[in-house]
Amino acid sequence: MARSIQLPALSSAVLEAQSSGIREISNLARNLPASLRLEVGQPDFRTPDHIGEAGKKAIDDGITYYTPTAGLATLRAKIAAKVERVNGVEVTPNQVAVTPGGCGAISAALAAITEAGDEVLLPDPCWPNFRIMAAWTHTKAVLYPCPPENGFLPDLDRLAALITPRTRVLVVNSPHNPTGVVYPRRLLEQLADLAQRHNLWVISDECYDEIILEGSTDTMSSLLDDGRVITVMTFSKTYSMTGWRLGYAIAGEDTITSITKVLESMSSNTTSITQVAGEAALDGPQDCVAEMVGAYRRRRDLVVDLLREADLLINVPTGAFYIMADISPSGLASRDFALRLLQERGVGVAPGTAFGTQAAHSVRISLASSDVALREGVGRLAELVQELSAAR
């Protein structure tokens, strides 16, 4: 007879954290090979050949060893040059830490600047991984509303009212996931002023910094230079390198030192092969970036027209590669709608509730999918909304 074993308890904070609603749909869609995958931010482009070839050559050349935790010195220098050239921010290589994707940069930054019980201000809607990170850093996620009636921009009065003596971090995300909103310069200035007045750290999630479809290119990192901003960027979206897991954090040298300590315990270093490929991405031709952004812009226009025709359009995104669709006429909660759309129509979309409460009556569509998949998938979505609405 097997002996009953009682194990120690798991972390209650992690147990109580909600898993990503995007992953829920994605995991189900994997079992439906013919489904149209509009739920994930996975570009349908191959990693450009010159980048892939550099990674292969790194293996052939035996570059398969540990690197400094903060990254290869050559890559950090190239990243610093890129940030000055593209983002208009002058930094030194010592202000750069190379990380396993943008996720690695954000989680290391949170761990480096917070104490248990601190409050972290997150936009609502926001990327769901932020809330999971708050759980295992034992901080409290406080969502500040970015309502659809305000164009998914932050409500500054309601944001200010949420600040308490325990508030430690303000997370700003522009271009924004999931809505595709790019924050105007004046709004970023107001957020910077708020952070300074309340002495907050700012994590500026700029993982879509080069995917600007039109208009403003201002970022928090270019407006606030007093050392409180930790900027997170990534190769994943810009160069279609999601699986390579290559990102980076930009901050003051002392802050980077603390972030590097966290990275040392998490991953030792980012893969050497990936770092060499990243150097090739920065050194090589950039027309691949312009071509991909052009495709996202064309797809944005296509989906905007389709949603407008179906009277399901909420806003026109100006950055990243996502758009929100209004599914409120269906009468279903967004998760229920997303599950039904996948099961009955073979289309995967991310439920708005995966991102918070402000997007509860919508779903996110990824413009990183092909034109054909978008036309067909959005058509099926609109048909299901219409049928459910008519049946109410």
Which numeric CATH code is attached to 49-283?
3.40.640.10
Distance in angstroms (rounded) separating the CA atoms of residues 258 and 260: 5
- Judged against a pLDDT cut of 90, whether residue 33 lies above it is answered with no
Backbone φ and ψ for 225, nearest 5 degrees, come out as -120, 30
Tell me the pairing of strands 247-250 and 96-99: antiparallel
- Judged against a pLDDT cut of 60, whether residue 1 lies above it is answered with no
Q: pLDDT averaged over the chain?
A: 96
This prediction has a pTM of 0.95
Is the torsion defined by CA of 67, 71, 73, 74 positive or negative? Answer: positive
Tokens linked to 110:
């949170």
On the question of a cis peptide bond just before residue 175, with omega within 30 degrees of 0, the verdict is yes
DSSP 8-state code for residue 344: H
pLDDT value of position 146: 98
- Judged against a pLDDT cut of 70, whether residue 256 lies above it is answered with yes
Strand partners, 98: 248
Report percent pLDDT > 70 for the chain: 99
* Neighbouring C-beta atoms of residue 6, cutoff 10 Å: 5
Distance in angstroms (rounded) separating the CA atoms of residues 25 and 48: 28
pLDDT tens figures, 322-331: 999 999 999 9
What are the residue boundaries of the structural domains of the chain, listed by start? Answer: 12-47+287-391, 49-283
Tokens linked to 298:
């064309």
pLDDT tens figures, 123-156: 999 999 999 999 999 999 999 999 999 999 999 9
pLDDT tens figures, 40-56: 999 999 999 999 999 99
pLDDT value of position 392: 80
Residue 249 CA, chain-centre distance (Å), reads 14
**How confident is residue 2, by pLDDT bands cut at 50, 70 and 90?**
low
User: CA-CA distances (angstroms) from residue 241 to 53, 175, 211, 227?
Assistant: 13, 18, 14, 29
pLDDT tens figures, 335-351: 999 999 999 999 999 99
Which residues have C-beta within 8 Å of that of residue 286, sequence separation ≥ 6?
none
Which numeric CATH code is attached to 12-47+287-391?
3.90.1150.10
User: CA-CA distances (angstroms) from residue 15 to 129, 132, 335?
Assistant: 14, 10, 21
Strand partners, 230: 203
Answer whether 12-47+287-391 and 49-283 agree in fold.
Answer: no
